[in-house]
Structure 1
Amino acid sequence: MFRFIYVLLCLVVFNLTQAQTADKAVLFTVADTPVYSDEFIRIFNKNLDLVKDESQKDVDSYLKLFVSYKLKIKEAQAKGLDTMPTYLRELGNYKSQLAKNYLTDTKVTDALVEEAYHRTANEVKASHVLIRLDDNVSPQDTLNAYNELIKLRSRILKEGFDAVQKDVHNGKTVYAENLGYFSAFKMVYDFENVAYTTKVNQVSMPFKTRFGYHILLVEDARPSRGERTVAHIMINNKRDDKLEDAETRIHEIYKKIQQGESFESLAKQFSEDKSSSGNGGKLATFGGGQLSSIEFEDVAFSLKNNGDISEPFESGFGWHIIKLLDKSEVSDFETIKPELEARVKRDSRSQLINTSIVNTLKERYKVQDNPEALAYFESIMNEGYFLGSWQLPKDFTGAKTLVVIDKKTLTYEDFGQYLFKNQRRATPRKPFNVLIKDYYEAFLNANLMQYQEENLENESEEFAHIVTEYRDGLLLFDLMENEIWNSSKTDSIAIQTFYTANKSNYNWSKRIDADVASASNKNTIKTVKKMLESGQTPEEIKEKLNANGSIEVIFTSGIMDKSHQALTADMVFEKGVSKIYRHESAYVVANIKDVLPEAPKTFEEAKGQIISDYQVVKEQQWLQSLEQKYPVQINESVLNNIKAKLKSN
């Protein structure tokens, strides 16, 4: 995962091109290898708004980064890292994955995306009757199922769905089910199509999916539930708290909310979702199906009005309380389009895209079929194919041409081996002419797609550029891993020496070991302070004050520094019971059992940061050696022209 992320970061910062021509202005050379000005300008402009470091927005500073990058790529190539099997395999996998974005039909895809958006914005409530049928069902069984569904359709229109459901559902061969509300991508595409094209209170004609034959009653249609913005307080259900379990703690917090305390303040003090607690528990806006917790989503969508707060509930992540901050309709088309496009390509409706692509490729590559071929293959088939024991005949004419795809010729041997490898002992029986036709279409389609992918770098300049970017990113990762990042395994003595020389940079800040009490009522916290001063424990204090179902005080215990969410920034770190501090919309007091002063970290305590700092220094020294190995010559006149051009823009 780290390798993939690193490569993607390289692509953002250094979006290289595949080819250069000799007539472009040379900005600099690395050991006589030219780097051109238009490449640098394009990369600089593209990344100007992406980099956060203001120094990298300066041309001279950015040029230093770019030169360092080119030096590293030069070294990687010199070491032969671009010939390593692992590198070639990963690059090949990436090319195949990337190609999927280019092997598509834009018009068909756009139409399907627009259709999916309409269906995402509207939900359908439906019930259906399904008669299960296998793929190899006989024509007579198919006709019987169709006729039976026609009868059931008439009954539903007359008697209602519930009556038919009670009569026919057996959960084995016939299913009569209430499906509730659903939207795009929730059902197989064939089913979804019928659901969205059948009017409310109407029953469809019988139709087929991979599960069998259905009829479908549309009971209602409504706009989608849209999006929700919520805040939450979460207590981890796998916590190691000495005072109480997660359920007890979340109900204590809920009591404080009911007593009028600020939800946002309690989230900041006690929520264990660190990604949101500092922001009062607020989460990013989400729509239906976007969260990994169905329980959380259902509760969020059940809240009706802004400001409504749920009761505590448990999900797979912990115990929660949710506050509804805002609700909105479905996102506009342009916002949601990328997500819908990705889902369309993963869904069964993508077969429509594939069919369109294949038809286009057949024309582009001027596919030349051999009309006699399929008849020949029908003649050599036998029943052994359905048992997994079929063999090509000894006199098989494998050298004959089967089909020509542009410059690629596929022979009888290619298709014969395809048939042989795809036979299965449980292959459904079908007439040989149908079997051969189906397999030939699959064989031709696969080879058309493969041929396009193999030639994609020649057909798409954009694809070629991205592949080159990723290629260099992989090289850079492997080089950095070998030269710098593995130093913790090989440079143990050097790292220890580095730590000794820089020990003053690695220190613990001042910390306390304390029990910190929080209460919204000032009189309550005064009482807590007196009880702490008298030596009472947090458990004893809670037992006395949190009586009759009321939660007046919550404790947080452990070792903390100034940044801890339970503490105020101005709290004085001294042993004993502290004064009372105002914190968020509550009051806190701390029983400081021990003060841990600033102190040097041992090597083991600071090891991670030491290794990171050491690697930075080592990389700087390594780059200096690369500059000696591969002399860099910068063309100052070209650089000045670049600065003038960028300034004028």
Structure 2
Amino acid sequence: MNIKYIFVLFFTLFLPQVKAQTSKEDVLFTVDSEPVTASEFIRVYNKNLDLVQDESQKDVDEYLKLFTNYKLKLKEARALKLDEKPSYIRELSNYKKQLANSYITDNKVTDELVEEAYNRVSYDVKASHILIKLPEHASPSDTLVAYNDIIKLRDRALAEGFEKVREEVHNGQTIYGEDLDWFSGFKMVYKFENAAYNTPVGEISMPFRTRFGYHIVSVQDKRKSRGERTVAHIMIFQKKEDANQEQSAERIQDIYKKLQQGETFETLAKQFSEDKSTASNGGRLTPISSGQLNSKEFEDTVFGLEEVGDISEPIKTEYGWHIIKLLNKKPIASFEDMRPELEQMVKRDERSKLIDEALYAKLRAKYGVSEEQPALPYFVGLLNDDYYKLSWKLPVAFEANKPLVKIGDEQLLFVDFGNFLVKNQHYNRSADTFENIVNQAYESFLNTNLVKYQEEHLEEEDEDFAHIVGEYRDGLLLFDLMESTIWDAAKTDSLGVRNFYESHKAKYIAPEKIDAVVASSAQQKTLKKVSKLIEQGMSVEDIKALVNSNDKIDVIFTEEIMDAGHQVLPENFEFKKGVSKIYKHNDAFVLVNVKDIIPETQRTFEESKGLVLSDYQTYKEEQWVAELAAKYPVEVNQEVLNQVKSQLKLNK
């Protein structure tokens, strides 16, 4: 995601409803005499309350400091005329257009389609189909031939059996006969999905057309969705230096043998899984749904585990080696839980055309636009064969300024539709009639302008939309200001950054580390034996050969340079050369042989540059905000602030 959008996201989330006790006009504070209302502060405070990580910032006084600093920066941005930059205006316009898409819709039709989609994703269908390919804009005669052919194939399939006919007619060019196996909602184009889900098991659908041509579908079976699985895994990455894959394969097999010997999955995951994001949690992953993963091998293994507690054999994916344990099986999520995701999927799918059609009808009624358009015959009479050649132009005597249609308070003229016709000329092989061309063009022209009109007036019509756009407008402006004033300036101030490093060196220290071998085992007595062998000077490889065998792995060794936070080291482990005592760690036992202690060292400027730059930017920003506060005095109305505090306390 673009960093600019991450930055302004803080200001663009939907807001909870707060019953105002202060008046909308009550001024909480002024910035250089410019008022900021209490209602705005309350709204933003409540919206961001759950996003604030620092508990101190949830205090109203502390949050007021943040908010006044924010307003100071916006005051400076406008003083610098950053809101007049073409790039800023263009980006804000694009955002408004994108955001408007979620407001300009027909909710009733959307709700019906979302409910239908939930019913579809709740079941899988197993089907085959026969397709006679046909161009989307084929001539009527070609369309009739294809339709008659698919009817004949359906009759044959009913008499001879669908699979027999499917295999015989498939040529991979004009006719396709394919076994589609199992699929669910949104996996096929919408018309195909409708036919598959509406055809009973064991039957063949009537012919139907998609953009690919004419189909018939044979539905073989239907089943409930496989739902959701929660698993844990132990993962060993395929390291670049392990070109022959032997080291990682050997390590995963060693871990698998320990599982077969009765050691617990969670303990081994904590000790040895190289997926750092899950190892400390026993390898537990977030729940997985069918079709969600990029790795087919991993997904097939997950859904192949039958009983909770089952553990897979080691499997290889493109990411490395895994051992997977089934922790939970859950049916498909409830409708309410899936609703937001399904709504987005519906709006991206071709079924969104149904939503669009309902929207256009609603906007026509809302803005008083008639279904009739008496001017269309005039435009039909203007077209000639040049339109098919993409060379048609408006005639000299064209009645440009004559009123065509009014949307709200905006009057569209003949010239607007005339230019639309000129711009949207398309070469048409079927030589569609001028009447059809004009009628279809007018529908598109009118629908486009209906949506455009509502987009342009949405801030007036929808308060929630207006708030979000306003906050994004400010957030985008603030990003531009910070980028030019602080971030870019700090990056180019090499001397200032270097001096900051020199005066804060104590902050940039590399921690103490050890060069060590850690032996991990479920048996304490085994590590006592290992301890003696290490003290006798035996190598790790020789010790492994002595205490482990092909059938049994008692000890796994980890040999590398590590700091105190390494997953194999016990908490608060004391760095001391030699063989340590045996510790209980991650539900197992560990023994540490510290070969060398690497003391903490001062990080060089180059090693610390990223962190130094970030700290320097924070330092510069604090100085700059203080200068802004002096430039634009802030005055807080204490009486209104007390009312705000009381109101926020009541609403908790």
**What TM-score results when the alignment is normalised by the length of structure 1?**
0.92
Given that 2:278 and 2:284 are in contact with CA atoms closer than 8 Å, whether structure 1 keeps it comes out as yes
Aligned length: 646
Q: Structure 1 pair 370/344, CA: closer, same or farther in 2 (3 Å)?
A: closer
Q: Structure 1 pair 101/11, CA: closer, same or farther in 2 (3 Å)?
A: closer
Whole-Å separation in 1 of the counterparts to 2:235 and 2:111: 41
Q: CA deviation at 1:61?
A: 1.6
Q: Structure 1 pair 476/427, CA: closer, same or farther in 2 (3 Å)?
A: farther
1:374 aligns to 2:372 (yes or no): no
Whole-Å separation in 1 of the counterparts to 2:347 and 2:121: 16
**1:490 alignment counterpart:** 492
Whole-Å separation in 2 of the counterparts to 1:621 and 1:163: 80
Q: CA deviation at 1:508?
A: 2.1
Counterparts of 1:63-102 in structure 2, within 5 Å, are 63-102=64-103
Q: Structure 1 pair 605/302, CA: closer, same or farther in 2 (3 Å)?
A: same
Whole-Å separation in 2 of the counterparts to 1:509 and 1:525: 29
Given that 1:387 and 1:427 are in contact with CA atoms closer than 8 Å, whether structure 2 keeps it comes out as no
3-state SS of paired residue (1:455): helix
**1:263 alignment counterpart:** 265
Q: Structure 1 pair 22/333, CA: closer, same or farther in 2 (3 Å)?
A: closer
**2:305 alignment counterpart:** 303
Whole-Å separation in 2 of the counterparts to 1:639 and 1:175: 72
CA deviations on 1:105-134 (whole Å, 9 max, x unpaired) are 000000111111111112222222111111
**2:170 alignment counterpart:** 169
Given that 1:369 and 1:404 are in contact with CA atoms closer than 8 Å, whether structure 2 keeps it comes out as no
Given that 1:48 and 1:57 are in contact with CA atoms closer than 8 Å, whether structure 2 keeps it comes out as yes
Given that 1:314 and 1:320 are in contact with CA atoms closer than 8 Å, whether structure 2 keeps it comes out as yes
Give the letter aligned to residue 32 of structure 1. S
User: Structure 1, unaligned stretches of length 5 or more?
Assistant: none
**1:143 alignment counterpart:** 144
Of 560-569 and 51-60, more deviation after overlay is shown by: 51-60
Q: CA deviation at 1:41?
A: 2.8
Give the letter aligned to residue 94 of structure 2. N
Task: Please tell me the root mean square deviation across aligned C-alpha atoms, in Å.
Answer: 2.8
Whole-Å separation in 1 of the counterparts to 2:634 and 2:202: 76
**2:595 alignment counterpart:** 593
1:188 aligns to 2:182 (yes or no): no
**1:212 alignment counterpart:** 213
Given that 1:369 and 1:402 are in contact with CA atoms closer than 8 Å, whether structure 2 keeps it comes out as no
Give the letter aligned to residue 516 of structure 1. V
Q: CA deviation at 1:84?
A: 1.4
Give the letter aligned to residue 456 of structure 1. L
Q: Structure 1 pair 198/13, CA: closer, same or farther in 2 (3 Å)?
A: closer
Q: Structure 1 pair 414/25, CA: closer, same or farther in 2 (3 Å)?
A: closer
Whole-Å separation in 1 of the counterparts to 2:458 and 2:617: 39
Q: CA deviation at 1:191?
A: 1.1
3-state SS of paired residue (2:263): coil
3-state SS of paired residue (1:225): coil
Q: CA deviation at 1:135?
A: 2.0
Q: 1:458 aligns with which of 457, 460, 471?
A: 460
Give the letter aligned to residue 138 of structure 1. S
Q: Structure 1 pair 92/257, CA: closer, same or farther in 2 (3 Å)?
A: same
Whole-Å separation in 1 of the counterparts to 2:556 and 2:384: 79
Give the letter aligned to residue 404 of structure 1. K
CA deviations on 1:230-269 (whole Å, 9 max, x unpaired) are 1112222355569954334333322322222221122222
Of 528-537 and 255-264, more deviation after overlay is shown by: 528-537
3-state SS of paired residue (2:607): coil
Given that 1:495 and 1:610 are in contact with CA atoms closer than 8 Å, whether structure 2 keeps it comes out as yes
Q: CA deviation at 1:35?
A: 1.4
CA deviations on 1:146-183 (whole Å, 9 max, x unpaired) are 23333332333333222111221112111222222222
Given that 1:122 and 1:222 are in contact with CA atoms closer than 8 Å, whether structure 2 keeps it comes out as yes
CA deviations on 1:538-581 (whole Å, 9 max, x unpaired) are 45544565543544443333221111112112433223343433
3-state SS of paired residue (1:493): helix
Q: Structure 1 pair 428/92, CA: closer, same or farther in 2 (3 Å)?
A: farther
Give the letter aligned to residue 71 of structure 1. L
Whole-Å separation in 2 of the counterparts to 1:442 and 1:269: 63
Whole-Å separation in 2 of the counterparts to 1:261 and 1:428: 73
Counterparts of 1:398-477 in structure 2, within 5 Å, are 398-424=400-426, 429-477=431-479
Give the letter aligned to residue 255 of structure 1. K
Q: Structure 1 pair 188/79, CA: closer, same or farther in 2 (3 Å)?
A: same
Of 291-300 and 53-62, more deviation after overlay is shown by: 291-300
Whole-Å separation in 2 of the counterparts to 1:384 and 1:578: 91
Q: Structure 1 pair 246/403, CA: closer, same or farther in 2 (3 Å)?
A: farther
Counterparts of 1:221-236 in structure 2, within 5 Å, are 221-236=222-237
Q: CA deviation at 1:74?
A: 1.1
Whole-Å separation in 2 of the counterparts to 1:412 and 1:604: 67
Give the letter aligned to residue 89 of structure 2. L
Of 320-329 and 481-490, more deviation after overlay is shown by: 481-490
**What TM-score results when the alignment is normalised by the length of structure 2?**
0.92
CA deviations on 1:69-91 (whole Å, 9 max, x unpaired) are 11111111111111112211211
**2:563 alignment counterpart:** 561
Whole-Å separation in 1 of the counterparts to 2:105 and 2:163: 44
Q: CA deviation at 1:15?
A: 9.7
**What percentage of aligned pairs have identical amino acids?**
55
Given that 1:103 and 1:357 are in contact with CA atoms closer than 8 Å, whether structure 2 keeps it comes out as yes
Whole-Å separation in 1 of the counterparts to 2:121 and 2:92: 36
Of 396-405 and 472-481, more deviation after overlay is shown by: 396-405
**1:237 alignment counterpart:** 238
Given that 1:16 and 1:469 are in contact with CA atoms closer than 8 Å, whether structure 2 keeps it comes out as no
User: Structure 2, unaligned stretches of length 5 or more?
Assistant: none
Given that 2:227 and 2:290 are in contact with CA atoms closer than 8 Å, whether structure 1 keeps it comes out as yes
Of 611-620 and 344-353, more deviation after overlay is shown by: 611-620
Q: Structure 1 pair 619/495, CA: closer, same or farther in 2 (3 Å)?
A: same
Q: CA deviation at 1:480?
A: 1.8
Given that 1:514 and 1:594 are in contact with CA atoms closer than 8 Å, whether structure 2 keeps it comes out as yes
Q: 1:280 aligns with which of 274, 277, 282?
A: 282
Whole-Å separation in 2 of the counterparts to 1:530 and 1:424: 86
Given that 1:576 and 1:592 are in contact with CA atoms closer than 8 Å, whether structure 2 keeps it comes out as yes
3-state SS of paired residue (2:605): coil
Given that 2:11 and 2:468 are in contact with CA atoms closer than 8 Å, whether structure 1 keeps it comes out as no
Whole-Å separation in 1 of the counterparts to 2:542 and 2:391: 79
**2:343 alignment counterpart:** 341
3-state SS of paired residue (1:290): coil
Q: Structure 1 pair 274/570, CA: closer, same or farther in 2 (3 Å)?
A: same
3-state SS of paired residue (1:578): strand
Given that 1:571 and 1:581 are in contact with CA atoms closer than 8 Å, whether structure 2 keeps it comes out as no
Counterparts of 1:498-517 in structure 2, within 5 Å, are 498-517=500-519
Q: CA deviation at 1:337?
A: 0.6
**2:8 alignment counterpart:** 7
Whole-Å separation in 2 of the counterparts to 1:121 and 1:154: 32
Given that 1:293 and 1:315 are in contact with CA atoms closer than 8 Å, whether structure 2 keeps it comes out as yes
Q: CA deviation at 1:466?
A: 0.5
Whole-Å separation in 1 of the counterparts to 2:261 and 2:393: 80
Of 598-607 and 332-341, more deviation after overlay is shown by: 598-607
CA deviations on 1:485-515 (whole Å, 9 max, x unpaired) are 2344233222222222222222222211223
1:33 aligns to 2:34 (yes or no): yes
Whole-Å separation in 1 of the counterparts to 2:428 and 2:523: 74
Whole-Å separation in 2 of the counterparts to 1:444 and 1:283: 50
